[in-house]
Amino acid sequence: MTPTRGCWSTPLEFRRSWLGTVLGNVVLGYDSTVPVTVEDMVRATAAVTRGAKRAFVVADMPFGSYQSDVPTAIKNAARLMKEGGAQSVKLEGGMSMEKTISALVDAGMPVMGHVGFTPQSIHSFGGYRVQGRGENAERVIEDALAVERAGAYSVVLELMPSELSKEITERLTIPTIGIGAGPHCDGQIQVLHDMLGLDPTFRPRHAGHYGDFAEAITDAVRRYVDDVATGSSRGPGVALLASGLNLFGSGFVVCEQREHMRL
């Protein structure tokens, strides 16, 4: 199970694709998932569902789209399914979200839960911190039990000790999906950008090291820029001159126009 952000054609077909609000970090340039909007998620979900032929698509409900009241949560979840094409929604929180999860399920919307470290609460946690250590372990267990009790069909366990995720997995009857929670969950999920090493400044240990695509992409673009600058690469369109390269900051800037354009 791998979170995706757009319509990417590949011979691989995952059983499930999870459209995470982490797109705020890896695509939209935010420093957290908090600023992501329902409109952002609808657009990203629709892109993925157009490319996913067999995968079961799960869409994250963004911060502020479900916490205020049940009718708001139902309205926004319906948008992700109707306009985005998702087959399910995911929301963060345990005991505090039990009523909301139950109402969504009653409205015919499959729900995936999420407990432990919940990224939309990053400011409350004071950063990316492992949850469920010591006395807090029982709270995470109760959160997971509340998600199951509310009718969710599965639950994500994020950033917690492996012994805790093992206990939760053994106590629940619904599948657990782990991310940074050890090997004992029923399934695993990773952010595609982290797994492929697309951001050289952020490489969480739990993502493993399956590629260094940041270096490969940077090298390919730099060689293209050099070819344009030296005149060894001429296309039928606009003549361009290298002016900068920024793959992982505010955008993808390769070239600027010369004084004239040849159309």
**Residue 97, burial from CB neighbour count under 10 angstroms (0-12, 13-18, 19+):** buried
Q: What are 177's strand-pairing partners? A: 156, 187
Contact 146, 94 (CB under 8 A): yes
Q: Cβ of 170: how many Cβ atoms within 10 Å?
A: 9
The two three-digit tokens of residue 214, written as one number: 């940041």
Q: Please tell me the chain's helix, strand, coil percentages from 3-state DSSP, rounded to the nearest 5.
A: 40, 15, 45
Interstrand relation of 253-257 and 240-246 (parallel, antiparallel or unpaired): antiparallel
158 flagged as catalytic: yes
Annotated catalytic residue: which of 98, 135, 158, 163?
Answer: 158
Instruction: Please identify every residue annotated as catalytic.
Output: 158
